[in-house]
Amino acid sequence: MQIDLPGNLCVVGLQWGDEGKGKLVSLLADPQGPCGRFDYVVRYGGGANAGHTVVIGEKKFAMHLVPSGIVWPEITAVVANGVVVDPEVMLTEISELRKKGVVVGKNLKVSSKAHLIFPYHKLQDKLSESQLGKGLIGTTCRGIGPCYADKATRTHGIRVGELYDRPYFKEKLERIVADKNCIFQALYGEEGFDPQEIYDQYCSYADQLEPFVCDTTELLHGALRKGERIMFEGAQGALLDLDHGTFPYVTSSNSTSCGLFAGAGVPPGCVSSYLGVIKAYSTRVGSGPFPTELDNQIGQYIRDRGREYGTTTGRARRTGWFDAVAVRYSAAISGITAISVMLLDVLAGLETIRIAVAYEYEGRTLEFFPADVHVLEKVRVVYEELPGWQDEIGDIRSQDQLPAEALNYLRRLQQVLECPIKIASVGPEKGQTIPITL
Ligand code: IMP
Ligand code: MG
**CA dihedral of 320, 322, 328, 332, whole degrees rounded to 10:** 70
Contact 403, 321 (CB under 8 A): no
Which residues are within 8 A (CB) of 144 and not within 5 positions of it... i.e. 6 or more apart? 46, 47, 48, 49, 84, 117, 121, 125, 251, 252, 253
Express each pLDDT in 70-115 by its tens digit: 988 999 999 999 999 999 999 999 999 999 999 999 999 999 999 9
| Active-site residue, selected from the candidate residues 30, 52, 150, 345 | 52
Q: Name the packing angle between helices 119-131 and 166-188 (round to 10°).
A: 20
For a substitution probing ligand 1, which of 139, 144, 287, 290 has the most ligand atoms within 8 Å of its CB? 139
Express each pLDDT in 8-65 by its tens digit: 999 999 999 999 998 898 889 988 889 999 999 999 999 999 988 777 778 888 889 9
Percent helix, percent strand, percent coil in the chain, to nearest 5: 40, 20, 40
Q: Is 252 in the pocket of ligand 1 (CB under 6 A)?
A: yes
CA distances from 104 to 40, 108, 228 (A): 14, 6, 21
Q: Is 142 in the pocket of ligand 1 (CB under 6 A)?
A: yes
Cα 97 to averaged position of ligand 2 atoms, centre (Å): 18
Distance CA 365, CA 357 (A): 10
- In the annotation, is 156 catalytic? no
Which residues are within 8 A (CB) of 238 and not within 5 positions of it... i.e. 6 or more apart? 12, 13, 14, 15, 244, 245, 255, 256, 276, 330, 331, 333, 334
Q: What is the pLDDT of residue 67?
A: 93
Among residues 408, 413, 402, the alpha carbon closest in space to that of 435 is found at 402
Partners of 84 in beta bridges: 115
Q: What is the pLDDT of residue 56?
A: 76
Partners of 338 in beta bridges: 275
For a substitution probing ligand 1, which of 19, 128, 137, 240 has the most ligand atoms within 8 Å of its CB? 240
Q: What is the pLDDT of residue 310?
A: 82
> Strand, coil or helix: what is 359?
strand
Q: Which atom of ligand 1 is nearest to the CA of 253?
A: 2
Q: Which atom of ligand 1 is nearest to the CA of 125?
A: 4
Distance CA 300, CA 343 (A): 15
Distance CA 262, CA 65 (A): 18
Among residues 378, 379, 377, 354, the alpha carbon closest in space to that of 367 is found at 379
- In the annotation, is 18 catalytic? yes
Cα 135 to averaged position of ligand 2 atoms, centre (Å): 23
Can you give the C-alpha Rg of the chain in angstroms? Answer: 22
Query: Which ligand is in closest contact with the Cα of 316?
Result: 1
| Closest CA to ligand 1's atom 15 | 49
E strand or H helix at 419, and its extent?
none
Cα 103 to averaged position of ligand 1 atoms, centre (Å): 29
- CA 193 from centre of chain: 31
Low-confidence ranges of the chain (pLDDT < 70): none
Contact 373, 340 (CB under 8 A): no
Q: How many CA atoms lie within 13 A of 39 on its CB side?
A: 12
Query: Which ligand is in closest contact with the Cα of 236?
Result: 1
Distance CA 84, CA 260 (A): 14
Which domains does the chain show, CATH number per domain?
9-111+215-435 (3.90.170.10), 115-212 (1.10.300.10)
Q: What is the pLDDT of residue 53?
A: 79
pTM of the shown model: 0.95
